[in-house]
A and B are shown apart, each in its own frame.
Chain A
Amino acid sequence: MEMMTVEQAIYQALAEEMQRDNRVIAMGEGIATKQLQLVEAFGKERVRNTPLAEAVVAGTAVGAAASGLRPVIDMLFAPFLSYAMDALVNSAGKLRQISGGQFEFPLVTLAMTGSGWCVGGQHNHNLEAAFVHMPGLKVLMPSTPADFKGLLKSAIRDNNPVLLFTDLGLLHSQGEVPRDTDYLVPLAKAAIRRIGTDVTLVSYAKTVAVCELAATQLAEQGIEAEVIDLRCLKPLDETTVLASVRKTGRLVCVHEASGLCGMAAELSALVAEKAFESLRAPVMRVTGADATPPASWMLEQVGVPSVQNIMGAVIDQVAIKTMPAAYRLS
């Protein structure tokens, strides 16, 4: 094990995979300036600074992926993905199926997002659910340096287009990371961060830690919360979520992205469809607003899920002793 930041874990994973497989290449605006160790190890042929041209950088990655390379592209901030949408959604996501399965697109797209840097809505916009909505794509949004390493390595070895979102608030956070160059975290496997019996808190990225804090404080009040870190939003680990909700009977979904058509909505539907009979209270969502993320520090603070919001939702849920008739199966 080795202490490192999320950022270091990302570039360690990339370096290890580039070492392992010379088809892996990295492209981005400034990657060859900022990650000199990659240029030194693998040369400018495989570590490429690009022009400001997200549309064609992503398109080039898609074309190269279909033709034998395994590109990793750094799109910097999530809102810049809008220029890359066509290549990622219409090409990488669809052309395998459209072509009757003739092509594979082993391609990883990196993008940062999230509150904490006061950069405002054209740099901070949690778009993960928009990509979850797109067929053919896989979407990761981890919370610990070890998961960043293990999931990115799995993503690079996967034969499908994967997006990995990095929460800005986590970029410089530290954690223990295995040194093993084959340390892989499987896609589609959620992690249980805390075991509990009274309520299930499901989250991902920066708000996992907020859920854990809330769980600690809830425990002082005698409420035992289970905390699930999805890590991978698509494919979704339904089994882990359902098993937990069947045990606790309560679900609170937490994320910074807007609640409207977000992951929390999907989880609510999942539980309503497949674990309805175990619910002892309505599912609750603690999410960002359906609005542009603000730059102002004060607004950023109040706009994201807090320990208080989460505790409030859980306490409201626990207060419901019997489900209203409408919720009971006859």
Chain B
Amino acid sequence: MHTSQYQMAEPTDKSLQWLEQMQLIRTYELHLAAMQSKGVPGTCTSVGQEACAVGVMAALDKRDRILTNHRSAAHLLARGASPGRLLAEVLGRIDGYCGGFSGSLHISAKELGVILTSTIVGGELSMAPGVALAQKMGQGEAGGIVTVFFGDGAACEGIFHEALNLAVQWQLPLLFVCENNQWQAFVHRLETMPDNAIINWARGHGLMVDTVDGNDVHAVFESATQAVSAIRSDSMPRFLELCTYRQRGHFEPDDQAYVDRQELAHWLERDPIKRLCQRLLQQGMLTQQSLNNMQQAIDEQIQAAQAFADASPWPDAAMLTRHVYA
């Protein structure tokens, strides 16, 4: 596979829809971050990583199933999750996707194909081969594939290597998507791994790999589309490394005192939403007025979502022991 790092792809007619999704994700996440002062449980936001989620999801379809981790809001929203039900879940209310039991850290939404979310780093990687095996053995929708999202930190867990090896050896229809956001909670990636790229580990396991600028939604979409169609045709796993940056702290609230200001500034310059807007404005696909209108509509959507979540009841105490067994 080609390596298309940092090359700008041409916008497509989907661009406006992607921009809207990315704006929705960002607005949702910033809303949650702002809610910290009001006693809302802390969350891991995906601010700065919106293009990864939106670009990959755009390459997938309804047949496909997705596993994700603690930093999942972008994946869920890009897959069409309702912001109101997400907020209800974060607040621990019954209208959340998991009835309030999960909170923000492990939201699964089977109806959206977002399954088996784990906040144990590497948990998603341990289960993904099994979901792909079931797919291969006829348990999924025909033609579907499985995608697992994880971070650069997860790639340091032993289970990462075990999952890659098994997926190759068993020829599983599995797309590994590593969002390399340079941070592993409070430790910089360069402190934990000698190499500059995670794809080299994946190559070592015999996977076909690609790495792209994770802050360029078009580049992500193109690369993911190629990988997805290849997996659909030969049922072999592929590995995608998306180079991106965690713009906020690990877990809200976080003062980011440990973050190198220059590095942060460098990546803020490469902000995925800012870049997409600039490109679309330049190409005349977007006007400042339509951008403002879009943002206003999203703000209203988030306010409505918050009102929905606030109105949702607390779960009944009987929920404590419900769903323990099937």
A-side interface residues toward B, CB under 8 Å?
29-30, 33-34, 49-56, 79-80, 82-83, 117-120, 122-123, 289-292, 294-299, 302-303
Q: Could you say which of A33, A52, A289, A296 contacts B157, with CB atoms under 8 Å apart?
A: A52
Q: Could you say which of B157, B184, B187, B317 contacts A299, with CB atoms under 8 Å apart?
A: B317
Expressed in whole angstroms, the Cα–Cα distance for A84 and B317 within the complex equals: 33
CB distance from B311 to the nearest CB of A (A): 15
B105 contacts which chain A residues (CB < 8 A)? 119-120, 122-123, 295
User: Could you name 10 residue pairs across A and B whose Cβ atoms are closer than 8 Å?
Assistant: A52-B156, A120-B102, A123-B119, A295-B41, A295-B92, A295-B100, A297-B92, A297-B314, A298-B314, A299-B100
Do A119 and B41 touch (CB < 8 A)? yes
The answer to whether A298 and B315 touch (CB under 8 A), given A120-B103, A122-B106, is yes
The answer to whether A29 and B184 touch (CB under 8 A), given A296-B92, A299-B100, is yes
Whether a CB of chain A sits under 8 angstroms from the CB of B17 is no
B321 contacts which chain A residues (CB < 8 A)? 289-291
B-side interface residues toward A, CB under 8 Å?
41-42, 92-93, 100-106, 118-123, 153-154, 156-159, 184-187, 191-193, 258, 314-315, 317, 319-321, 324
A118 contacts which chain B residues (CB < 8 A)? 41, 92, 103
Expressed in whole angstroms, the Cα–Cα distance for A119 and B317 within the complex equals: 18
Q: A51-B153, A52-B122 provided; 15 other pairs, C-beta below 8 A? A: A29-B186, A49-B192, A50-B192, A51-B187, A52-B121, A56-B158, A83-B158, A120-B119, A289-B320, A289-B321, A291-B321, A291-B324, A296-B319, A299-B314, A302-B320
CB distance from B232 to the nearest CB of A (A): 32
B123 contacts which chain A residues (CB < 8 A)? 122
Do A295 and B156 touch (CB < 8 A)? no
B41 contacts which chain A residues (CB < 8 A)? 117-119, 295, 297
Expressed in whole angstroms, the Cα–Cα distance for A48 and B145 within the complex equals: 40
Expressed in whole angstroms, the Cα–Cα distance for A289 and B93 within the complex equals: 20
A295 contacts which chain B residues (CB < 8 A)? 41, 92, 100-105
Expressed in whole angstroms, the Cα–Cα distance for A155 and B159 within the complex equals: 31
A33 contacts which chain B residues (CB < 8 A)? 186-187, 258
The answer to whether A298 and B157 touch (CB under 8 A), given A29-B185, A119-B105, is no
Do A52 and B154 touch (CB < 8 A)? yes
Top 9 A-B residue pairs of the complex, sorted by shortest distance between their CB atoms: A295-B103, A296-B92, A30-B186, A51-B156, A51-B192, A298-B314, A296-B100, A118-B41, A33-B186
CB distance from B95 to the nearest CB of A (A): 12
Do A296 and B314 touch (CB < 8 A)? yes
